[in-house]
Structure 1
Amino acid sequence: MTLVPPSAPGRTAVGVRATARITATAGGGTTTLPVLDGDGPFELRRLRSHGSEARVCIVGAMSAPLGGDRLRIEATAQQGAALHITSAAATLALRGPTSEHATYDVHLTAEEHAQLHWLPKPLICAGGSDLRQIWTVDLAPTARLVLREEQILGRTGESPGHVTTRLTVRRGGQTLLDQQAEYGPGAPGWDGPAVLAGHRAVGQLLIVDPAFKETPLEVQLLGGSAEDGQAVLTPLVGPAALVTAVAPDGLRLRHLLDTAQATFRSYRPGRTRARSERGAEVGHPG
């Protein structure tokens, strides 16, 4: 008789199954992390706090996502908590040993008067990869959110992978934003003038803040020529604004989103209209 050793935890014949969980709680003028539970490729490290804000870094413990993987991160900022999440390096999506697509789900929750920042490094979709990435965000009416995502289609000198993304944001139980995009081989018109126009880097910056009710932002175009990449800031119906950017490479994409985030940080309630009339950039702390 031949005994087959058991599979590693979370791994199946198709791929890795893993869920990482983060919970932030406010108390005593600071934010603590009663739940910091890594799993599979997600190693969670507590960083030095910044003021009352708790900070967490996601470190890759193995190559992921690969074809067939089912990965999920759940992060909750409870009432009054401030949580900042980043990653140590870019995420590289690869083809893997199976033709199955990979799934990477991120579920973020911010309760009343909580603040949640989701600011990971870019996602690189290597040639031959097939990834479905889903963000689901639930916000209380008084919560604040900063969410940034960057996608690089293919490494230098290679064809892009295929990625489908969906971002759904609910505030007070009502849908604030629900959008889906698809890039790479098999996606109709993805590199045409109506979508990426030949660019290989795309990203978004979403800011939700109740202060926008009193001082809503105006549409702004960021960047220079279309060949070097551009971004547009669009106010949403609700106290939110969305920046969407496209660029020829990750470096120029990052510059565009950094500029947009700095624009938000320079914002001061009550000064928006005066600054706008003088032609200055406006925004809200990010």
Structure 2
Amino acid sequence: MDGVTMSGVRATARIVARDDGRGGTALPVLEGDGPIALRRTRGSGAEARVMLVGAMSGPLGGDEFAVEAEVESGARLRVGSSAATIALPGQAKGEARYDVRLHVGDGGELEWLPEQLISAQGSDLYVRTRVELGGTARLVLREEQVLGRVGEQPGRLSSRLTVCVEGRALLDQELACGPGAPGGWDGPAVLGGHRAVGQLVVVRPEFGMEPMAARVVGEGAVVMPLAGPAVLVSAVAADALRLRRLLDEALAAVA
């Protein structure tokens, strides 16, 4: 663990995926830290699979968590999580932070598919995800955020997602919800009263030559081409189950 301070817990988990030269993917670095444990699971073909396992409650107020994953050229990695992450209020005052830093080299492939992030009442969490891709890298990234547990109001949840290909930004967007967030977050222009919001970013070199057309998928999801080899799926739903169904349907539509 990086450390425990008066303001909370600091912890970082690291993954490095590397082409093993035999048609598979090795994991020379697989380091869980404190509340973030990493487990390798059975892969498929050339793909290695890793599961994020929460070893403690949190993040709590004042905590600083980070996950770093590097997929080297020619490697394939799929990352999921064993359960939803729940942002909770803690004894320490102040905002909690969760940083995700992903890098995929040329010819590498990453599927980043964690379970939902739930913003519990009284919590305050800032999530920062930054993805750096090589020119021929492939990516499927899913984010799902649920505002409040059943029957409760949400905490404050702020998130920023940035995706770059060869140093050029394809996507850089922010969303803030809950108490203290800028006005209008729950209005018709943003969530429209829904309590689950999610997105998929799919990056494939072929999208740069044949961009996908914008379209609506199901009730509450839209596919939008980005200015580069990628598409963005944005979705809102009444709950986590309906959100996952929407995103699964959208991913099948762009596959």
TM-score norm. by structure 1 comes to: 0.87
Counterpart of 1:107 (choices 98, 101, 106) is 101
Q: Give 1:102 shift.
A: 0.3
Counterpart of 1:23 (choices 16, 32, 36) is 16
2:204 paired residue number: 209
Select between 29-38 and 93-102 the one with higher mean Cα deviation: 93-102
Counterpart of 1:117 (choices 108, 111, 116) is 111
**Higher relative contact order structure (alpha carbons within 8 Å, sequence separation ≥ 6):** 2
1:64 paired residue number: 58
CA distance in structure 1 between the partners assigned to 2:179 and 2:103 by the alignment: 33
Whichever of the two has the greater Rg, that structure is 1
1:189 paired residue number: 184
Q: Give 1:9 shift.
A: 6.0
TM-score norm. by structure 2 comes to: 0.97
Q: Which runs of 4+ in 1 moved over 6 A?
A: none
CA distance in structure 1 between the partners assigned to 2:52 and 2:100 by the alignment: 13
Q: Number of aligned pairs?
A: 253
Q: Give 1:40 shift.
A: 1.4
Structure 2 vs 1, CA of residues 9 and 222 (structure 1 numbering), >3 Å: closer, same or farther? closer
Quick one: percent identity of the two aligned structures? 57
Counterpart of 2:252 (choices 253, 259, 262) is 262
CA RMSD of aligned residues (A): 1.0
Gaps of 5+ in 1: 1-7, 225-229, 264-282
Alignment of 1:147-226 (within 5 A): 147-187=141-181, 188-224=183-219
Q: Give 1:175 shift.
A: 1.0
Q: Deviations over 1:74-111 (max 9, x none)?
A: 00000100010000000000011122110000000000
Structure 2 vs 1, CA of residues 104 and 9 (structure 1 numbering), >3 Å: closer, same or farther? closer
2:5 paired residue number: 12
2:27 paired residue number: 33
Is the counterpart of residue 134 in structure 1 residue 128 in structure 2? yes
1:46 paired residue number: 40
SS at match of 1:89: coil
CA distance in structure 1 between the partners assigned to 2:159 and 2:84 by the alignment: 17
CA distance in structure 2 between the partners assigned to 1:107 and 1:9 by the alignment: 17
Gaps of 5+ in 2: none
Alignment of 1:76-115 (within 5 A): 76-115=70-109
CA distance in structure 2 between the partners assigned to 1:205 and 1:82 by the alignment: 18
